[in-house]
Structure 1
Amino acid sequence: MRVERVVPILTVTDVASAVETHRRVLGMSVVMDHGWIVTLADEAGRQLSVMTRDASAAVNPDVSVFVDDVGEALRQAIAAGAEIVHPLTDEPWGVTRFFYRDAGGSVINVGTHAEPSAPQ
């Protein structure tokens, strides 16, 4: 399993205000907007997400880690004895993910983007 991208996530009460602040202070642009979560990036592709409440999980993650094999990541998390706080789920927005809680209490969203379906 290989880590492909790590994105910190800030929980906020007002996504639009948070986005505007990060755009003005850091010069980042919106690259993804689901309403409840927005991801901003700079020209080099470094990213920061802000969210109000996760759309399908009971807890908000503190960071997203995208990997090339989310099933293997889940197996490693279970083998390590990590508490799984959101099960492996194929989300409607095209991500397969699970969450675990680390020893310090942070919630890690581990996911991969679903492969596009082949044309029929």
Structure 2
Amino acid sequence: MGVRRVVPNLQAPEPGQAKAFCEDVLGLEPVMDQGWVVTYAAPGNLGAQLTFLSHDASAPVAPHVSVEVDDVDAAYAAAQAAGHEIVHPLTDEPWGVRRFFVREPASGAVVNVLTHRDR
């Protein structure tokens, strides 16, 4: 199983308010905006991203970090086999990702492990 990217998820009551900072200060551009979640990326480098979210649309908590993997089913099986707390089950979301949330045991952070279904 390989990791494609790791994206910090910053909690923000109004994710759209990050626009000026991300664009003017960091040179990032929006690559996804669903209102409750907005992701900005470096032009030409989709591996360099920041996500701002107010909540999660389908899960009980907002994740602290997102990790895109090439085999989310294998990651889910490994998390279950290791006995890690699954916070949100493996789900095909309507916005094109297959994902689950797992609690990282050292810090208690919630990790959104995902893959894009079109890849």
For normalisation by structure 2, the TM-score amounts to: 0.92
Unaligned runs of 5+ in 1: none
* Partner of residue 65, structure 2: 63
Letter in 2 for 1:77: A
* Partner of residue 34, structure 1: 34
Letter in 2 for 1:28: L
* Partner of residue 112, structure 2: 109
* Partner of residue 74, structure 2: 72
Letter in 1 for 2:98: T
Taking the aligned partners of 1:15 and 1:100, their CA distance within structure 2 comes to: 23
Aligned Cα RMSD in Å?
1.2
* Partner of residue 17, structure 1: 17
Residue 115 of structure 1: how far off its partner (Å): 2.9
For normalisation by structure 1, the TM-score amounts to: 0.91
Letter in 1 for 2:116: H
Structure possessing the higher radius of gyration over alpha carbons: 1
Taking the aligned partners of 1:31 and 1:98, their CA distance within structure 2 comes to: 21
Taking the aligned partners of 1:106 and 1:28, their CA distance within structure 2 comes to: 26
Unaligned runs of 5+ in 2: none
Taking the aligned partners of 2:93 and 2:118, their CA distance within structure 1 comes to: 13
Residue 20 of structure 1: how far off its partner (Å): 2.1
Equivalent residues of 1:67, 1:112 under 8 A apart: yes
Q: Secondary structure at 2:60's aligned position in 1?
A: coil
Q: Secondary structure at 1:76's aligned position in 2?
A: helix
Residue 16 of structure 1: how far off its partner (Å): 1.6
Residue 88 of structure 1: how far off its partner (Å): 0.4
Residue 15 of structure 1: how far off its partner (Å): 1.1
How many residues are paired up? Answer: 116
Residue 49 of structure 1: how far off its partner (Å): 0.5
